[in-house]
Amino acid sequence: MGLIVQKYGGTSVGDIDRIRNVARRVARTYDAGDKVVVVLSAMSGTTDRLIAMAEEACERPDKREMDVLLATGEQTTVALLAMILKCMGYQATSLLGFQAEVVTDCSCGAARILNIGASRIRRLLDDGQIVIVAGFQGSDAEGNITTLGRGGSDTSAVAIAAALKADTCEIYTDVDGVYTTDPNICKKARKLSRVSYDEMLEMASLGAKVLQIRSVEFAKKYNVPVHVRSSFKDEEGTMVMQEDADMERLVVSGVTCNKNEARITLKGVPDRPGIAFRILNPIAEAGILVDMIIQNTRSGNITDFTFTVPKTDIRDALEISKKVAEEIGAEEVMADPNIAKVSVIGVGMKNHSGVASKMFAAMCEENINMIMISTSEIRISCIIEEKYTELAVRALHTTFGLDRPEEKLS
Ligand code: ADP
Ligand code: ASP
Ligand code: MG
């Protein structure tokens, strides 16, 4: 008898018929003799609708109350699935994050899981029950409800699998695995049968939202095998696992894009020691994550300073930057939300030269201007105008030989 954690995403629980489909899959696993813990997302669109409602209610909704509100999405789906399973004759119990003892820090909206007690989950499993846990939520030491950031149910599932030492964590979603790039953008994307934790980590952090980054970090740290697969088909999906000797080692193994960043530029900044600190320290103190940073040299000890932040933080970042600009005597501040980051990723890049120039040639061929560029040992990213995102992804996918071979017509 094994222990399996199954997580179903928003599309997979999008309406009552789909929740019934989930119930049938869960029942099948249970009937095969395994213990099952199910982790659910809210119905697709629900979290966005709740955020929109809060923004209609007030301009800057209180963060604690926002988490109380957002957690209701997952509360709905766990209750519905438990009801359906009970009607089918199974013993099932739904638990909210705090009831499953998911303890987090207190950073509302982006809380990190510190510990999962899981004693109640274990008791229920030992009783022969199917346990259904609300994803995306936990509670802090004071008992306040917290949420884990968008896509956080993946992290709930992997963390619960780690705490229970489950045999596997299955992530059921609306695609049938992890692909070389988003299959909804590039029809020629190829499904990977296996992908290493490290490459998945890089893909997730650069925009492949099929898994939340934190979930891959947990999986790697606690060595949880993760199986990403479709909730609508039975075929095997992609195993996310420890790198092994016969995994494909391509120079570039994936292409990603991220439209969730915005760019801020301070023009005409005096070029002297301490300026980067003066600009970025207040941003960090406001809890805003800065991704790319670029500083140009101009004549006469004057420079332009550009950085990117999450789109959701653009208003706060702009306000702070305007204040700093006045203090340091910068000429003006500009914000541009219409950007995207496209990246090519591959561990094989470490030992190959010429990857960057190949990427730049592909962008040049499509006449796409690169606004910012950054590189690491295993990836190259550039910021472009948002409207060219899909074009850039497809061009890079082809350039680096990732396209699926044409299917032969017989
Ligand atoms: P869920 O609601 O099940 O959590 P998400 O929408 O969060 O699903 O994640 C699945 C989506 O991730 C897919 O529909 C796909 O558009 C997107 N995606 C982005 N990059 C990739 C990739 N490399 N492989 C597979 N899917 C990807
Ligand atoms: N419902 C949350 C979201 O939409 C969490 C999740 O689906 O994983 O981001
Ligand atoms: Mg998701």
Task: Establish whether residue 178 lines the binding site of ligand 1, counting it when its CB lies within 6 angstroms of any ligand atom.
Answer: yes
Task: Establish whether residue 8 lines the binding site of ligand 1, counting it when its CB lies within 6 angstroms of any ligand atom.
Answer: no
Q: What is each CA distance from 16 to 12, 24, 30, 318, 374, in whole angstroms?
A: 10, 12, 21, 43, 45
Q: What is each CA distance from 67 to 76, 108, 229, 394, 408, in whole angstroms?
A: 15, 7, 29, 37, 51
Asked if 307 and 294 touch (Cβ cutoff 8 Å), the reply is yes
Asked if 41 and 231 touch (Cβ cutoff 8 Å), the reply is no
Q: For residue 177, how far is its CA from the centre of ligand 1 (angstroms)? A: 9
Task: Establish whether residue 73 lines the binding site of ligand 2, counting it when its CB lies within 6 angstroms of any ligand atom.
Answer: yes
Q: Which CATH class is domain 3-174?
A: alpha beta
Q: What is the pLDDT of residue 59?
A: 87
Return binding residues: 7-10, 47, 74, 173-174, 179, 209-210
Average pLDDT for 379-386: 96
Domain residue extents for the chain: 3-174, 255-404
Instruction: For residues 258 and 253, give the distance between their C-alpha atoms in angstroms, rounded to a whole number.
Output: 17
**Closest CA to ligand 1's atom 11:** 210
Q: What is the pLDDT of residue 251?
A: 84
Instruction: For residues 163 and 155, give the distance between their C-alpha atoms in angstroms, rounded to a whole number.
Output: 12
Q: For residue 57, how far is its CA from the centre of ligand 1 (angstroms)? A: 30
409 pLDDT more than 70: no
335 pLDDT more than 60: yes
Q: What is the pLDDT of residue 327?
A: 94
DSSP H or E stretch at residue 379: strand 379-385
Task: Establish whether residue 150 lines the binding site of ligand 1, counting it when its CB lies within 6 angstroms of any ligand atom.
Answer: no
Task: Establish whether residue 97 lines the binding site of ligand 2, counting it when its CB lies within 6 angstroms of any ligand atom.
Answer: no
pLDDT, tens digit (0-9, with 9 covering 90-100), for 149-168: 999 999 999 999 999 999 99
Instruction: For residues 110 and 312, give the distance between their C-alpha atoms in angstroms, rounded to a whole number.
Output: 13
Task: Establish whether residue 402 lines the binding site of ligand 1, counting it when its CB lies within 6 angstroms of any ligand atom.
Answer: no
pLDDT, tens digit (0-9, with 9 covering 90-100), for 92-142: 999 999 999 999 999 889 999 999 999 999 999 999 999 999 999 999 999
Q: What is the pLDDT of residue 350?
A: 80
410 pLDDT more than 70: no
246 pLDDT more than 90: no
Spell out where 280-371 has E strands.
293-297, 302-310, 332-336, 339-345
Average pLDDT for 332-342: 97
Task: Establish whether residue 71 lines the binding site of ligand 2, counting it when its CB lies within 6 angstroms of any ligand atom.
Answer: no
Average pLDDT for 220-234: 96
Please tell me the number of the ligand nearest to residue 256's CA: 1
214 pLDDT more than 90: yes
Q: Which of 14-23, 138-147, 171-180, 373-382 has the lowest mean pLDDT?
A: 373-382
**Closest CA to ligand 2's atom 9:** 150
pLDDT, tens digit (0-9, with 9 covering 90-100), for 293-310: 998 877 778 999 999 999
Asked if 16 and 47 touch (Cβ cutoff 8 Å), the reply is no
Sign of CA dihedral 153, 125, 233, 167: positive
Average pLDDT for 381-404: 97
Return binding residues for ATP: 7-10, 173-174, 179, 209-210
407 pLDDT more than 80: no
Q: For residue 212, how far is its CA from the centre of ligand 3 (angstroms)? A: 7
Q: Across the beta sheet with 145-147, what order do the strands follow? A: 113-116, 102-104, 137-139, 145-147
pTM, whole model, 2 decimals?
A: 0.92
Q: What is the pLDDT of residue 349?
A: 84
Please tell me the number of the ligand nearest to residue 135's CA: 2
Higher pLDDT, residue 272 or 77 = 77
Average pLDDT for 27-40: 98
Tell me which of 210, 253, 260 to substitute to probe ligand 1's pocket, judged by most ligand atoms within 8 Å of the beta carbon.
Answer: 210
Q: What is the pLDDT of residue 78?
A: 98
Instruction: For residues 337 and 314, give the distance between their C-alpha atoms in angstroms, rounded to a whole number.
Output: 8
CA-atom Rg of the chain in angstroms: 23
Torsion angle in degrees (nearest 10) through CA of 251, 252, 253, 259:
160
Return the CATH fold of 255-404: VC0802-like (3.30.2130)
Q: Across the beta sheet with 339-345, what order do the strands follow? A: 254-258, 339-345, 379-385, 372-376
pLDDT band at 247 (very low <50, low <70, confident <90, very high): low
Return binding residues for substrate: 47, 74
Instruction: For residues 379 and 179, give the distance between their C-alpha atoms in angstroms, rounded to a whole number.
Output: 17
Q: Which residue has the tokens 């005409």?
A: 268
Average pLDDT for 156-185: 97
pLDDT band at 248 (very low <50, low <70, confident <90, very high): low
- Ligand 1 nearest atom to the CA of residue 172, by list position: 3
